[in-house]
Amino acid sequence: MQRRDVLKILSAAPFLGMRSAPQSSAAAPASHPWRVFEDAFLSEIAFPLGGIGTGTVSLGGRGELRDWEIANKPDKGHGLDNSFFALWVREAGGEPRAMILESELKPPYRGAFGIPRGGLPGMPRFHKGRFLGSYPFARVELEDGRVPLQVTLEAFNPMIPGNDVDSGLPVAIFYWRLRNPGGSRIEATVLASLENRACWKQAGRTENRLVEDGGLRGILMTSDKLPADHPMRGTLALATLHPEITRTARWDRGEWFDAQSLFWEDFSLDGRLEPIALSDASPENRNDVGSVGALMSLEPGEEKVAAFLVAWHFPNRQNYWVEEIFGYQADEKGPILGNFYATRFEDAWSVARHTASELDRLERETREFHNALYATTAPAEVLDAISSQMSILRTNTCFRAKDGNFYAFEGTGDDHGCCPLNCTHVWNYEQALAFLFPALERTMREVDFQHNTDDSGFMVFRTRVPLGSEKWDFPHAAADGQMGTVVKLYREWQLSGDLEFLKRHWPRAKKALEFAWTQWDPDRDGVMEGVQHNTYDIEFHGPNPMMGAIYLLALLCASDMARAVGDGAAALSYEDLYRRGRAALDSETWNGEFYVQAYERAREEKYQVGAGCLSDQLLGQWMAHVVGKGHVLPEEHVRRAIEAVYRHNFKETFASHANPQRIFALGDEGGLLLCSWPRGQRPLLPFVYSDEVWTGIEYQVAAHLIYEGYVEEGFRLVRAVRNRYDGERRNPWNEVECGNHYARALASWSLLLALSGFHYSAPERTLGFDPRIEAERFASFWSVGGPGYGLYEQERRGSSFAATVKLVQGTGLEIARLSLPSISGTAGVDVRVGGRQVPATLESVGGRSLVLLGEPQTLRKGSEMRIAFATA
């Protein structure tokens, strides 16, 4: 099977829930591929709103605020009481009506005491709701025959590639858009209520202070109940930029249901609140609730928008996690790690003030990123996979301590990270941080090499914090994680061109690589056969492709790095070992159809693969493509093997699959098994997880299929994943493996890399694209973080070929060479930067068109480079 036209693919099989919907924002293009959810598909949606290292509050499918995880810990299902948006409306001459700005609750209606009452679920809601998600933007559309308005919410948190500071604000931004489609004037109030949770789960002694701050007005929520350094102490802010407002610092504090009753009575009467200016703190164990409303008057046909900010500030991030499964357990009061954002802001109001003052820019730049990403030529499900999983970087799976470093669990349990921290083998699969925020990615290498690698080259594959804590004492290093980390160092160097960075880490990286020679490849034949602990949490023995290929790739990358730092002898020895290893691994593990584990005791010992067809067998090969290293095993075998993985392991249904392990796909769902034994010889107890389905591996394999030209197969795999996350089965913005928001799913970024064939080498100032979709017009987002991100566009018709590289945002990208698709019959090249022609020559190298610029060009923000091939 070869490359196919994307249009044919798009019509091949259904992808649930995606369609084009009108976009009403002026800043965004006229149409946009939102994924749209209605009815039963709303139930599981929880769209995370928050920045890198800030935690999140999620927007539910009905428009409700749910899963408040803003105080430095995961907390699925955790609601704040009396925290919601509400609408009051009165058409001229009509009766007033008050509604919660959510669509109706759907069954089941569980609860031993009736359904939980945090969000006033007993109040009227909109009959019909739609949720539209396109990370980092979410939209809720509400309709009800009783309400004479068109009501839309747009919510987001700023996200700008390369700008980790503005992508790390602890705030959720809400635009409520009201349109009056009728013939009468309408008075309306959009109101936000928020519980003061300034002492988080220890309620009481809260103070709500009304704040006037230029155009920004609202409530700062504090409490002095806890000491300043307490992990649960923080502040919240509820604010609006709306010019005409109503607000109350607090609700009634009576018993029973007095507070809710009196609030609703007051609000529903005239859409204005009897203001209570706070004079005292709330009682012990009781939190005040504050409300801020935006008053509007809408003439027929008129549309108005009210902007609300919910900001939070919990500076005392703590190492709270219990790691007894790894041999130690944190004290009840573990060390304080702090938050990077708290080094910039003193409280939640200062977050709100900053956000408000920069709001136009933050919104514009976020939309530019979003628009550029969605300009990519790809099926909806692929863009959905790429964009939705970026969110992982901005959930509690990840954090940014006051030391500025980026740390991450693998994922999160419902109330704790799992497992800590910076796990080398799980984070092998991740590519989004590396390309969107490479400066943060580099902090992970700092930790890997400077803190976790000892003099023998043994790298502990989990990080304990604060840095300087006693290292984790697990007996094994992870073969895949350790080799992958060497590769990732190469990737970071290639993207940044930062030779000092490379020099700092190379000595430890060299030890880490050569640790293989004592542990895994003692006979130094280029093939691992020792005890290979790996991402399946067990140890493989004997030659096997998964460890083998990544080892080969590490040798190749190390060779380049050694040469760059002046260690030519090492470079040569790595290259030699690579050559020998490549031949030996292929010979020892190729079964004529795919690669297998060559270990004679695979059926006698527990937890091996043996003759199985492992989906991850070419993990190293996929990484090789990502870092631009081509085929580390014979291309023909690689292509046959990845096609065999698809053929044997992709299942359209799991209805007859017997899985005693963890369950991530079942019944009528499709997905990729981690392993199968198409030729029999399945061990009685094969490696744990072998019967499971992991989205991270599905994306890894899908991207690899695309790299090898099996584009439709790759798309089909992605579609199966995203159909499992359809809003009814599971939350589209939370792919689960060993925890929520599981980092391995960040492999979805490699779909973009594979589709576009994007590659950038800063040391060589070479930018390359190699689209896998043979469309006449192809476009792709690309990013290298700080230096810039942008859009690549390509048009080809017969032998006519033109391409444009645009830098949307960034400090500037240096380009000396471009590697582009080979077009038969081309005789020359025309290159223009900002319309100005620059000298360039064209070479054909290895089936590629290599454009050599006369002198290097720096592409600046907003400018573009246009390359056209002259026809012979």
Residue 592 found at the interface with a copy of itself (CB under 8 A): no
Residues for the chain: how many in total? 872
Instruction: Name the strand (E) or helix (H) holding 645.
Output: helix 635-649
Burial class from Cβ neighbours inside 10 Å (0-12, 13-18, 19+) for residue 18 reads buried
Task: Work out whether strand 125-126 and strand 65-69 pair parallel, antiparallel, or are unpaired.
Answer: unpaired
Calpha distance 505→498 (Å, rounded): 11
Residue 474 found at the interface with a copy of itself (CB under 8 A): no
**What minimum distance in Å lies between the beta carbon of 668 and a copy of itself?**
8
Strands (E), 233-298: 235-240, 245-248, 289-298
Sheet arrangement for strand 289-298: 125-126, 97-103, 84-91, 186-195, 289-298, 245-248
Residue 822 found at the interface with a copy of itself (CB under 8 A): no
User: What is the full DSSP assignment across 466-479?
Assistant: STTSPPP--S--BH
Partners of residue 309 on adjacent β-strands? 173, 239
Among 1, 92, 115, 322, binds a copy of itself (CB under 8 A): 115
Considering the complex, state which of residue 595 and residue 689 has its C-beta at the smaller distance from a copy of itself.
689
Residue 417 found at the interface with a copy of itself (CB under 8 A): no
Considering the complex, state which of residue 419 and residue 626 has its C-beta at the smaller distance from a copy of itself.
419
Please tell me whether residue 767 adopts helix, strand or coil conformation. Answer: strand
Residue 20 found at the interface with a copy of itself (CB under 8 A): no
Strands (E), 389-533: 398-400, 406-408, 411-412, 417-418, 532-533
Footprint on residues 128-147 left by a copy of itself (CB under 8 A)? 146
Calpha distance 245→349 (Å, rounded): 18
Calpha distance 233→206 (Å, rounded): 11
Residue 739 found at the interface with a copy of itself (CB under 8 A): yes
Site string for a copy of itself, 236-265 (x = CB under 8 A): ------------------x-xxx-xxxxxx
Residue 112 found at the interface with a copy of itself (CB under 8 A): yes
Nearest-CA neighbor of 488 among 446, 534, 548? Answer: 446
Site size toward a copy of itself (CB under 8 A) is: 67
The interface region with a copy of itself, picked from 510-518, 574-582, 735-743, 787-795 by CB under 8 A, is 735-743
Q: DSSP class of residue 232?
A: T
The interface region with a copy of itself, picked from 53-61, 97-105, 377-385, 401-409 by CB under 8 A, is 97-105
Calpha distance 744→418 (Å, rounded): 13
Burial class from Cβ neighbours inside 10 Å (0-12, 13-18, 19+) for residue 630 reads exposed
Among 14, 29, 111, 507, binds a copy of itself (CB under 8 A): 111
Among 157, 235, 355, 412, binds a copy of itself (CB under 8 A): 412
**What minimum distance in Å lies between the beta carbon of 735 and a copy of itself?**
11
Calpha distance 309→221 (Å, rounded): 13
Footprint on residues 634-693 left by a copy of itself (CB under 8 A)? 655-664, 666-667, 684-685, 688, 691-692
Residue 389 found at the interface with a copy of itself (CB under 8 A): no
Phi, psi for residue 74 in degrees, rounded to 5:
-65, 150
Residue 434 contacts residue 492 (beta carbons within 8 Å): yes
Among 3, 76, 304, 471, binds a copy of itself (CB under 8 A): 76
Considering the complex, state which of residue 397 and residue 463 has its C-beta at the smaller distance from a copy of itself.
397
Calpha distance 529→532 (Å, rounded): 8
**What minimum distance in Å lies between the beta carbon of 264 and a copy of itself?**
6
Among 6, 80, 98, 378, binds a copy of itself (CB under 8 A): 98
Calpha distance 694→452 (Å, rounded): 27
**What minimum distance in Å lies between the beta carbon of 806 and a copy of itself?**
41
Site string for a copy of itself, 145-164 (x = CB under 8 A): -x------------------
Considering the complex, state which of residue 67 and residue 164 has its C-beta at the smaller distance from a copy of itself.
67
The interface region with a copy of itself, picked from 106-114, 292-300, 317-325, 635-643 by CB under 8 A, is 106-114
**What minimum distance in Å lies between the beta carbon of 284 and a copy of itself?**
16
Nearest-CA neighbor of 186 among 81, 293, 300? Answer: 300
User: What is the full DSSP assignment across 482-501?
Assistant: HHHHHHHHHHHHHHH--HHH
**What minimum distance in Å lies between the beta carbon of 539 and a copy of itself?**
13
Quote the radius of gyration of the chain (alpha carbons, Å).
28
Site string for a copy of itself, 602-621 (x = CB under 8 A): ----xx--------------
Considering the complex, state which of residue 673 and residue 803 has its C-beta at the smaller distance from a copy of itself.
673
**What minimum distance in Å lies between the beta carbon of 151 and a copy of itself?**
17
Task: Work out whether strand 125-126 and strand 97-103 pair parallel, antiparallel, or are unpaired.
Answer: parallel
**What minimum distance in Å lies between the beta carbon of 660 and a copy of itself?**
4
Please tell me whether residue 615 adopts helix, strand or coil conformation. Answer: helix
Residue 114 found at the interface with a copy of itself (CB under 8 A): yes
**What minimum distance in Å lies between the beta carbon of 144 and a copy of itself?**
9
Please tell me whether residue 263 adopts helix, strand or coil conformation. Answer: helix
- Tracing tokens 């604010």 back to the chain, one arrives at 239
Residue 748 found at the interface with a copy of itself (CB under 8 A): no
Considering the complex, state which of residue 414 and residue 446 has its C-beta at the smaller distance from a copy of itself.
414
Residue 325 found at the interface with a copy of itself (CB under 8 A): no
Residues that bind a copy of itself (CB under 8 A): 43-44, 76, 98, 104-105, 107-115, 117, 120-124, 127, 146, 254, 256-258, 260-265, 268, 411-414, 418, 606-607, 655-664, 666-667, 684-685, 688, 691-692, 724, 728-730, 736-740
